[in-house]
Amino acid sequence: MLHIVNKSASERSSLDSCLKLAIKGSAVLLIEDAVYAVTKGNTAAAKIQAAQADLKIYALGPDLAARGMAGRVLDGVNVVDYGGFVDLVAEHSNCQSWL
């Protein structure tokens, strides 16, 4: 399953809930304000790193760049553009947005 999270982890619990309920092997794509969670020094960074054991973590590059965060991404996080976003949706048989 592809999980899409769009709110900042420091504003909303969506990322926490997603990581709690995403089955092993799922992909999690962070878009919009959620991208801050994959930046070095963010309080969510440890959660992201722990989640990488079971989940593939992606972040939308244009949203990182729009927030001045492109150079600060945690190791192991896959940065994708909108083409990659489309591919992720196509490649996974189902998707779920955590709003």
Binding stretches for other proteins (CB under 8 A): 1, 4, 6-7, 13-14, 17, 20-23, 26, 31-33, 62, 82-83, 85-87, 89-90, 93-99
Shortest spacing between CB 84 and other proteins, in angstroms: 9
Instruction: Using the minimum distance from each CB to other proteins, give the nearer residue, 48 or 55.
Output: 55
Nearer to other proteins, 23 or 41 (CB): 23
Buried b (16+ CB within 10 A) or exposed e, 49-81: eebeeebbbbbbbebbeeeebbeebbeebebbe
- SS3 state of residue 99: coil
